[in-house]
Amino acid sequence: MKAVRVVGYHTKLQLTEIPDPTINGPLDVIVKIGGAGVCRTDLHILEGQWEPKTGVALPYTIGHENAGWVHAIGDEVSNVSVGDKVILHPLITCGLCRACRAGDDVHCVNSAFPGIDTDGGYAEYLRTTARSVVRIDDSLEPADVAALADAGLTAYHAAAKIARTTRPGDVCVVIGAGGLGHIGIQVLAAISGVTIVVVDRNAEAVKLAESVGADHGIVADGTQVQQVLDLTGGNGAEAVLDFVGEGGATADGVAMLRRAGSYYVVGYGENINVPTIDIISTEINFIGNLVGSYNDLQELMALAAQGKVSLHTAKYALDDFQTALDDLDAGRVRGRAILVP
């Protein structure tokens, strides 16, 4: 099969032929890829940022946002059948550790992460397990929802936390209305009662945010913190959901918080520098968000089937993977880029 492989860091990916994956265990599932999301994390992988965390042996196949059709199953798989449309939870998990048994499978101590530390979905086929496949509604197509497997799941995971800890009329500032942000805005609008204020440097991204559920849009021009304070009577927001995490976004985000507010970190790239006395004196909270659980993904796909969450996508053939990565890196993708084998 065709597969796009990481052959070295600080170098370009290569498209090559490798053997098709095979069923090795009774719970294995082989998925024919219908869509693979192109994520900024893929750029970070090529920059070597993940090398010390994963220790993955090169070469390997990249791609961690995947959906498609069940191609083959192990003898003990009972939750899906050959031909079913599925989206893949990013992790392959054990089901036996304490985290898995608590439904917090994103923290499985025995997990593998296709596209990060084992072969992923920039390919024609991918091997995963029965624990990782979520059947999707017949009205949905794999290429249209693939990026919900990670970008959407991460956005949902964070937005659901905000929905559980806020009240109708509270304010949530969303920093970044790009690939993740435009999903998070839709989720917040669907499951919470917060007033959604979106901040982005790109005026077109702000327009997109307002079209998918944001109540207020602010183009970052140096006055964004003051504009948020003006909207909130000088108090700041109960929640800030940061999909950027670099370029000064974190300092802005902290300055936008009210007392006892919570800062939900999704994007990464810079340090959060806050004096500890400021954290204590205002009781602000910092909450990290890593992907999401299998149940989170099921709930997100229910919203997608109801038409409450949809992806804005740009689709590329698998052979055009480099163009997709270049467009993403240059900021030319509105929403998410999807590779379609």
pLDDT at 50: 87
Residue 334 has pLDDT above 80, yes or no: no
- Domains: count for the chain: 2
Residue 331 has pLDDT above 90, yes or no: no
The rounded percent of the chain whose pLDDT value lies above 70 is: 100
If asked whether residues 241 and 174 sit together in one domain, one would say yes
The confidence band for 53, taking pLDDT boundaries of 50, 70 and 90, is confident
Residue 1 has pLDDT above 80, yes or no: yes
Q: Is 47 helix (H, G, I), strand (E, B) or coil?
A: coil
Here the CATH number for the domain that contains residue 199 is 3.40.50.720
Residue 249 has pLDDT above 80, yes or no: yes
pLDDT at 191: 97
pLDDT tens for 88-102 read: 999 999 999 999 999
Pairing of the two strands 216-219 and 195-200: parallel
pLDDT tens for 126-177 read: 999 999 999 999 999 999 999 999 999 999 999 999 999 999 999 999 999 9
The confidence band for 288, taking pLDDT boundaries of 50, 70 and 90, is very high
Q: What is the distance between the alpha carbons of residues 11 and 45, in angstroms, rounded to a whole number?
A: 11
If asked whether residues 131 and 179 sit together in one domain, one would say no
pLDDT at 335: 78
If asked whether residues 27 and 145 sit together in one domain, one would say yes
Residue 118 has pLDDT above 80, yes or no: yes
pLDDT at 178: 86
If asked whether residues 175 and 274 sit together in one domain, one would say yes
Domain hosting residue 247, numbered range: 152-288
If asked whether residues 249 and 320 sit together in one domain, one would say no
pLDDT at 268: 86
Lookup result for tokens 């942000």: 181
If asked whether residues 49 and 96 sit together in one domain, one would say yes
The confidence band for 312, taking pLDDT boundaries of 50, 70 and 90, is confident
Judge whether 160 and 187 are in contact, CB under 8 Å: yes
What is the pTM for the complete model shown? 0.92
pLDDT tens for 197-222 read: 999 999 999 999 999 999 999 999 99
Q: What is the distance between the alpha carbons of residues 318 and 114, in angstroms, rounded to a whole number?
A: 17
If asked whether residues 99 and 126 sit together in one domain, one would say yes
pLDDT at 75: 97
Residue 40 has pLDDT above 90, yes or no: no
If asked whether residues 186 and 269 sit together in one domain, one would say yes
Domain boundary among 273, 288, 303: 288
Helix and strand element counts for the chain (H, E): 12, 16
Listed in sequence order, the residues at least 6 apart from 194 whose beta carbon sits closer than 8 Å to its beta carbon are: 162, 163, 166, 168, 169, 170, 171, 172, 188, 238, 239
Here the CATH number for the domain that contains residue 309 is 3.90.180.10
